[in-house]
Structure 1
């Protein structure tokens, strides 16, 4: 199932780099999970929350916030679940420029 995200036409040129960065975040999240690096998970989640929100990717921002909170609480299993949901969401995104 595709998730349509409406993004401002004015930032169209920078969206590919933004999405590439989020793909890297997925790999960073998984590496931090493997090493149980909660500080790194919290940091990446915080950055995702802010960056995604400022570009108009609200759901992605919510995942970042949830990961940040779960990392503060040291809830590894919850983080694994959220990261998987985030990855599934990321792969389902279809951008519509408006």
Structure 2
């Protein structure tokens, strides 16, 4: 048996069945946000990344994705501090999280 791989193993997030109609659109929007922030990063527009990260921070936990709130908070602070290297690292972490996410409705 292979040991767990923290970079590729699925991340199961348990979400209320009541939110099921909203989750696909919400996650699609977050993936678009990630793409947009990648473009903004290349344009060195950390202020715009800060705004998107603030929204991410505010909405993640509301939908049951606590990790999105954490990443949004860290990303907002790094962008506000004009810290390009941490912003890039956090965008990579966000991309990894979204790619591994598996929603489990309860």
The TM-score normalised by the length of structure 1 is: 0.97
Which is helix-richer, 1 or 2? 1
The answer for unaligned runs of 5 or more in structure 1 is none
The correspondence for 1:10, drawn from 18, 21, 42, is: 18
Q: What is the aligned partner in structure 2 of residue 89 from structure 1?
A: 97
Structure number with larger C-alpha Rg: 2
Superimposed CA distance per residue, residues 28-85 of structure 1 (whole angstroms, 9 cap, x where no aligned partner) = 1101101111110100100011111110100111111111000110001110000001
Aligned counterparts of 2:20 and 2:45: Cα–Cα separation in 1: 34
The reply on whether 1:54 has 2:81 as its aligned counterpart is: no
Number of matched pairs: 98
Q: Which runs of 4+ in 1 moved over 3 A?
A: none
